[in-house]
């Protein structure tokens, strides 16, 4: 496995989903999953803009995330490279590539993570973590539509 793709459909307008992917306050809610929380979240959605923050887990463990936006075509496509072993190399491409498409009743999100920087086992773990992040994103979107 050299990566994975996850597809979700959210009952929310594409612009709202885009905002939850590109605004630090929203990213900080879903990127930590149910148990983690993000501190000092930075989200500058322009090509070359910074992305990152510190994930704080319930046991106090801290994970530093460092990233950079590679493609920003709002509200349809977003690509950013990131690492949890800063600093992010200048030529890094490993991260998320997301496409948002309007569908009846909401938005389809297709997320791919690939690049070969991770082992097969790490991609399996990354996919599981991403699934949790997308679950929390769905829950967060539901609160914004309520």
pLDDT at 57: 94
Residue 22 banded pLDDT, cuts 50, 70, 90: very high
User: What number is the average pLDDT over the span 17-42?
Assistant: 95
Q: Minimum mean pLDDT among 39-53, 91-105, 114-128: which range? A: 114-128
CA distance readout (Å), 87 to 25, 82, 141: 23, 9, 31
Only one residue has tokens 């490279």, namely 81
pLDDT digits (tens, 9 = 90+) for 81-113: 999 999 999 999 999 999 999 999 999 999 999
pLDDT at 1: 52
Q: What is the DSSP letter of 99?
A: E
pTM of the model: 0.94
User: What number is the average pLDDT over the span 49-61?
Assistant: 96
Those residues whose C-beta lies under 8 Å from the C-beta of residue 128, and which sit 6 or more positions away, are: none
| Residue 60 tokens, joined | 């106090």
pLDDT at 135: 97
User: What number is the average pLDDT over the span 41-69?
Assistant: 97
User: What number is the average pLDDT over the span 28-51?
Assistant: 95
Residue 146 banded pLDDT, cuts 50, 70, 90: low
Q: Minimum mean pLDDT among 3-12, 61-70, 117-126: which range? A: 117-126
């Amino acid at each position: 496995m050299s990566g994975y793709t996850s597809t979700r459909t959210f009952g929310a307008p594409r612009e709202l989903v885009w905002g939850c992917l590109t605004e630090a306050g929203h990213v900080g809610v879903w990127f930590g999953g149910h148990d983690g929380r993000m501190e000092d979240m930075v989200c500058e959605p322009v090509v070359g803009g910074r992305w990152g923050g510190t994930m704080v887990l319930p046991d106090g463990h801290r994970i530093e995330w460092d990233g950079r936006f590679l493609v920003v075509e709002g509200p349809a496509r977003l690509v950013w490279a990131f690492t949890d072993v800063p600093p992010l190399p200048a030529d890094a491409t490993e991260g998320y590539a997301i496409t948002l498409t309007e569908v009846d009743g909401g938005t389809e999100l297709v997320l791919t993570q690939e690049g070969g920087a991770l082992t097969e086992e790490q991609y399996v773990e990354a996919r599981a973590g991403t699934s949790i992040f997308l679950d929390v994103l769905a829950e967060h979107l539901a609160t914004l539509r309520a």
